[in-house]
Amino acid sequence: MAKASNLLAVEAAFRWIWNTLMQKPWAISIEVTHNCTANCKHCDKGEKIPDEKQATPEEYRKIYNEIHPLVVQISGGEPLLRKDILDIVRIFKNPGHLPYIVFVTNASLLTEEKYDQLKEAGVDQFSISLDFPDERHDQNRRLPGLFQHLSDVIPILTAKGNNDITVITAVTRENYPCLIDNLHLVGKWGARLNLSMYTAGRTGNRDLLITSEEDLAAFRKIIDQIIEEKRNGACIFSSEAVLNRYYDFFANGRSPGKCKAGIRSLVVNPDGSLCPGAMKKDFKFKSQKELRKKFSKNNQCDQCFISLRANTEKPLREVVRDILATV
């Protein structure tokens, strides 16, 4: 296993260098549907789209072949609503080699049986959403019973010992005080915590942003506590540098650094068209080359700092350091 992991790390390093030189994304997020079982307050998904145009697994594979990213993230909406979801996962499966396949889900439809099927199909990591450490999660997602379902199913999945369950919290003004409780609960479940920052670009609701001096001061203390717990062994995906940038995003009212959407990451829509990111749905392109030329070249946007962006736009020294920390 160690030899296989080392070989994969070498492959990832060469792929990372090549994609960086060629200005091709390290990661792509394939939103296989915009339909969802939930209707979250902080998200622009949830509206039912009965006549949604959806690409086939083979069409998604053609997009992958153009870009060859290190990571393929399969998301939505709720991807488990796709009847051909296992075929979509299988189309990217390459045992012992890239891409690394991440499956993003609210887990409302996730069962042990479905987990086993997805693992067999090729999923490497599951990313499961958690907004609050109690039934407030149901209220925020407008999906009664969801928190209890997570409490039941996640420990069953982590007990399999695959170390493949990450729980992600989209941080807003309403739930940031709960982050430490989320961290401890996720640890109790046997999973690790990841964070992503809410952006008003999703819903237009700026009330969910952390902006007041009082909230920012409290958020800073919580970030510091998360960093301290990470140093003491808590299972947290985000690096210290990224955690600090998450605070800076809210404190400064803009994302740090120049946005590299379309170059370091991009989103594939259900119909197979490409867009720079989840908040840029009005921009649709047929290829990454066209996207880079018509959008990325003149992109000045600084209004989002979601996990996908935060973790694909790290400086080289951080990428090397974070890779070394995992071997």
Taking the domains of the chain in order of start, what are their residue ranges?
2-161+260-326
Of 4, 205, 51, 38, residue with least CA distance to 107:
38
**H or E element, residue 11:** helix 2-21
| DSSP 8-state code for residue 208 | G
Rounded to two decimals, the pTM is: 0.95
Q: Is residue 285 over pLDDT 70? A: yes
Q: Is 67 a residue whose pLDDT tops 90?
A: yes
Q: Which of the pair, 145 or 256, is modelled with greater confidence?
A: 145
**pLDDT tens by residue, 144-178:** 999 999 999 999 999 999 999 999 999 999 999 99
In eight-state DSSP terms, residue 228 is: H
CA distance 88 to 118: 10
Two tokens at 87? 């075929």
Give the Cα separation of 63 and 289 in Å (integer). Answer: 11
What is the pLDDT at residue 21? 95
- Measured between alpha carbons, how far is 279 from 275 in angstroms, rounded to an integer? 9
Dihedral over Cα of 63, 68, 69, 75: its sign? positive
Q: Given pLDDT bands bounded at 50, 70 and 90, which one contains residue 10?
A: confident
Q: Which fold has domain 2-161+260-326?
A: TIM Barrel (3.20.20)
